[in-house]
Chains A and B, each alone.
Chain A
Amino acid sequence: MAYDTLIIGAGMSGLAAGIRLAQFDRRVLILERHSLWGGLNSFYKLKGRMFDSGLHALTNFAPRHAAGLPLTRILRQLRIPYEALKLGEQAGSRLIHAGRELRFHNDPRLFFEEFARVFPGEIDGLRRLVADFPGYDAPPGGADCDDSARARLSQYIRDPAAVDCLMLPTCIYGSAREDDVDWDQFTFLFRAIFLEGFSRPEGGIKSLLDLLLARLKAVGGELRTNCGVRRILTRAGSVTGVELDSGEEIPCERVFSSAGHTETLRLLDPRDVPSAAPGRDPAHADQSRAPRLSYFESISVTAEAPAAYGYGDTVTFFNLGERFRYRVPTQDIDSESGVICSPNNFARTTPLAEGMLRLTVLANHAHWTRLAPDEYAAAKQDAADRMLAAATRAVPALSALPPRVLMRDTFTPRTLEHYTGHLGGAVYGAPRKSRDGTSGVGRLSLIGTDQGMLGIIGALLSGITIANHHVLAESLR
């Protein structure tokens, strides 16, 4: 079997790109290093229970007939029926910043009312800001896409606390950049969180992944798991195939890589690595030393749903300090800010068997990789306890959690690096993105994290968009 396109990584972007290409008769093979597909957004079984590894909530909720929104566009492009996802909408979420609380849910009017209540002098600025967002039809990678969202926001909103309130959820749900978000990503995330909102497939991430895999197979695409790529083979600056960890070589016409920009360039013969693409900032090509944001996360299982002990939010973004700080922590974790969420707090047809509560904060990758094997387990428990204590300051109901916990699992930047392959366990990749998906090497396209559309919906759109632009539309010229 000869392949047109090999795709490195069976995460959301790789699966979406694979479906798009195979749907139009390209011979596609997705190569996944791990035994499960999904990448960051995967699932695992532990002590007889099934867990989602990445999913907090699916952003960008759209009702069934709402065409033109990211969710409905993705489903059309992948030919997946809306009902198949069995989406349940969020119960309601909260933003807690330095003692101020703003509620929001899938009707965006609530968030605007809350913002007007907490920041009466800034609501007009927020409305002007949103009115100035580019439309979804604007082509990706416009001239101002890398602009600082913080700087843009300050042109509309004066109160730094109000700016921080908008930075908190958008940073945590998709910024690879310290103390800031790229402007285009900010507009996408603001819409994704506040204008469209949260839902969750009834069956969790696995049900979405099952739909994607079934669709890939139905259109003739292939997936090989436990199959890492060791090298990308090139001739005269253009891709000719890949070499697997096993030594097997597979020739192809084109490679799509979701491994990350620097991570992908490291798979090339160093002589083929472009020093910097023409006309680009050299920092763009070499992101290997840029600071990378990673996370520490715990999932606690209880017999009853979190609502039973007073936690009814779907998602709570919290920041305890006066200013919101989004930087690589100097310590193991930075529990001043973070996110709390529960899969129980979505509309469902049948309740989940047990309660689950997830806490997430920024973490320092270097700290976690330095730990000796005999220190690691205790360090995780200690960090998880401190994270819960901080979250309890924001949401006092969580004080009732500890005696109820049946089991708690944690992941660190080390876990994230292992399962995503992203340097530093950086779930959002390098700070500088390649929005056009070019790598500087012929017939090697970047998709996923370092292409710059983040989150589950962003990653699916990334795979679709690059497949459309680099292969399908190209084939019509």
Chain B
Amino acid sequence: MTQDEVIIAIKDIIAQIAPDEDLTNLEMDVRLREQIELDSMDFLDIVMELRKLYGVQVPEKDYMELATLAGCVKYLHPLLEKKPLHCAQGAPIS
């Protein structure tokens, strides 16, 4: 997975959890919770989906690393580099 694909992967997970949120113009360096409605329950789901889809375990102490999209890329790319991107529904992304 490239760095851009990590962003697609994260946005795809958020789209599953919060289908009503508009994810088209998210800023990389602004906290996600300031741009869209995400609460602690949603955050648990992002982490749970990352584990379910990609086998990535994010310990609770590292949650803050995922606060922005740039943070997600920085933290997750080394963990996802060797894994293929697929969307949360299981269908490949073209």
**Other-chain contact of A472, B19, B37, B44 (Cβ < 8 Å):** B44
Interface size on A, residues (CB 8 A): 19
Shortest distance from the beta carbon of B81 to any chain A beta carbon, whole Å: 22
Contacts of A476 in B (CB 8 A): 44, 47-48, 51, 57-60
B83 near A: Cβ within 8 Å? no
> B39 and A472: CB pair below 8 A?
no
- Is A134 at the interface (CB under 8 A from chain B)? no
Tell me the nearest residue of chain A to B59, going by C-beta: A476
Contact assessment for A65 and B40 in the assembled complex, using a CB-CB cutoff below 8 Å? no
The answer to whether B20 and A477 have CB atoms under 8 Å apart is no
CA distance A476 to B44 in the complex (A): 9
Q: Is B45 an interface residue (CB 8 A)?
A: yes
The closest CB in chain A to the CB of B20 belongs to A65
Q: For the complex, is B2 an interface residue (Cβ under 8 Å from A)?
A: no
Q: Are A24 and B57 CB-contacts (below 8 A) given A73-B39, A473-B44?
A: no
The tally of CB-CB contacts under 8 A between chains A and B is 44
Of B19, B39, B47, B52, which contacts A68 at CB under 8 A? B39
Which residues of the other chain, A, contact B48 by a CB distance below 8 angstroms?
A: 24, 472, 476
Find chain B residues with CB under 8 A from A410 CB.
Answer: none
Smallest Cβ-Cβ distance to B57: which chain A residue: A476
Give the shortest distance, in Å, between A475 (CB) and chain B (any CB).
Answer: 8
- Interface hits, A434-477 → B, CB 8 Å: 464, 468, 472-473, 476-477
Task: Determine the chain B residues whose CB is within 8 A of the CB of A464 once the complex forms.
Answer: 41
Question: Please, how many residues of chain B have a CB less than 8 angstroms from a CB on the other chain?
Answer: 21
Q: Compute how far the CA of A81 lies from the CA of B41 in the bound complex, rounded to whole angstroms.
A: 17
Chain A residues within 8 Å of B52, by CB:
24-25
A135 to B89, CA, bound (A): 33
Mostly, the B contact residues are helix
Q: Does A386 contact B (CB under 8 A)?
A: no
- Is A132 positioned at the interface, with any CB of B under 8 Å from its CB? no
B60 touches A477 (CB 8 A): yes
Q: How far is the CB of A139 from chain B (nearest CB, A)?
A: 9
- Shortest A275–chain B CB gap in Å is 34
- Least Cβ distance of A18 to chain B in Å? 16
Report the Cα distance A468→B47, complex, angstroms: 12
A393 within 8 A of B: no
Chain A residues, Cβ within 8 Å of B20: 64-65, 67, 82
The 27 listed contacts between A and B (C-beta, < 8 Å) are A64-B20, A65-B20, A67-B18, A67-B21, A67-B37, A68-B37, A68-B39, A73-B39, A76-B17, A76-B18, A76-B41, A77-B41, A77-B45, A79-B17, A81-B19, A82-B20, A464-B41, A468-B41, A468-B44, A472-B48, A473-B44, A476-B48, A476-B51, A476-B57, A476-B58, A477-B59, A477-B60
Chain B residues close to A by CB (< 8 Å): 16-21, 37, 39-42, 44-45, 47-48, 51-52, 57-60
The 4 residue pairs across chains A and B that have the minimum distance between CB atoms? A67-B37, A24-B48, A65-B20, A68-B37
